Amino acid sequence: MAPSAARTVALLDFLASHPTERFGVSELARRLDASKATLHALVATLTDAGYLLRHPVDKTYSLGPALVAVGNAAASRQIDVVDHARGEMRRLADELDVLCVASAAIGDEIVILGREGDLGPLAPDVRVGHRLPLVPPLGTVFMAWSSDAEIQAWLQRTGPSAPADRIARFRSAVAAVRDRGYSLALEADARIQIGRALGARDPGADASRLARLVEELGHEEYVLAELEHASSYRLSMIAAPVFGADGSVVLALTLFGFRASLDPVEIRVLADRLVEATRIVTKSVHGRPN
């Protein structure tokens, strides 16, 4: 990536991770490790284009209205991909007796865009329109095929006080997901609480409670990196990526609602079937596996 493009991406990613805050050029230069002169020129260009807003009094900057159109266009693209995925989602739900959910990473959130299957009380109350913060340990299936800068930005959302060993664990989880082609997560108390919180609220409401629960999830053993340490596992989910034409992950298909503990062989059978389905969808949308 060209240096100017990389600085633009870094600036927009930083502001997107602080959507309610405004920053002056000096603070942006310090946070992004760039010169003030470089940032002055960059924010001026982005402000003229409507991608940033400049406060008239304190001369600080925040995200601008032009990004709304960009975000809506990205969301529309992913909804189109869901239409291509629905047949495979229904087949997975019927064949494997599970709930299959389609989700996308949009900005700093994971957005639920589709679901197939009805397992009653066994399945989490995940509905179309629900949103979760794209914060570790959530989102490994999206981050595993992302750039180093995107992975670093995701890791930084854990906050400055996160211990180094936890960050290393999240980074290792991303590497494991990319290596095997799918993500595995164990059932955990905080995950169950997240499901209940989603079921009890309107989409987008009570974001602070969700953020606390996701932070608690980071303390639990959640992302399963290796399969050989136990004879069976109580899984929360299996997720695999659908790729777009540029090689990015435009959608994830996730299986929920497993009726019993699974041994490593059973998990691999389910995961291979899911990956087969996501490859079919990737081909259908003329995607390119990364």
Could you read off the pLDDT of 164-188 as tens digits, one per residue? 888 898 999 999 999 999 999 887 5
114 vs 102: CA distance, rounded Å: 5
Of all residues in the chain, what percent carry a pLDDT higher than 70? 80
Q: How far apart are the first and last CA of the chain?
A: 17
pTM summary value: 0.67
Given this model, what pLDDT does residue 243 score?
A: 94
The more confident residue out of 173 and 209 is 173
Given this model, what pLDDT does residue 234 score?
A: 86
Is the CB of residue 220 less than 8 Å from the CB of residue 275?
no
Range name among 161-165, 219-223, 246-250, 282-286 with the lowest pLDDT average = 219-223
The more confident residue out of 87 and 202 is 87
205 pLDDT band, cuts 50/70/90, is very low
25 vs 47: CA distance, rounded Å: 13
- Tens-place pLDDT, residues 230-284: 688 888 889 999 998 888 999 999 999 888 899 999 999 999 999 999 999 999 9
Which residues contact residue 192 at a Cβ distance below 8 angstroms, ignoring those fewer than 6 apart?
none
Given this model, what pLDDT does residue 270 score?
A: 96
63 pLDDT band, cuts 50/70/90, is confident
The more confident residue out of 94 and 132 is 94
Arithmetic mean of pLDDT over the chain = 82
- DSSP code per residue over the chain: --HHHHHHHHHHHHHHTSTT--B-HHHHHHHHT--HHHHHHHHHHHHHTTSEEE-TTT--EEE-THHHHHHHHHHHHHHHHHHHHHHHHHHHHHHHTSEEEEEEEETTEEEEEEEE---GGGS----TT-EEE--TTTTHHHHTTS-HHHHHHHHHTT-TTS-HHHHHHHHHHHHHHHHHTSEEEE--HHHHHHHHHHHTS-TT--HHHHHHHHHHHTTSS-B---SSSSS-B-EEEEEEEEE-TTS-EEEEEEEE--SS-B-HHHHHHHHHHHHHHHHHHHHHTT----
- Sorted by where each starts, the structural domains of the chain and their CATH numbers stand as 3-64 (1.10.10.10), 69-284 (3.30.450.40)
Averaged pLDDT for residues 70-95: 79
Query: Which among 186, 160, 184, 207 has a CA at the least distance from the CA of 275?
Result: 184
Q: Which amino acid is at 77?
A: R
Given this model, what pLDDT does residue 228 score?
A: 73
Of all residues in the chain, what percent carry a pLDDT higher than 90? 36
Given this model, what pLDDT does residue 203 score?
A: 40
Given this model, what pLDDT does residue 214 score?
A: 54
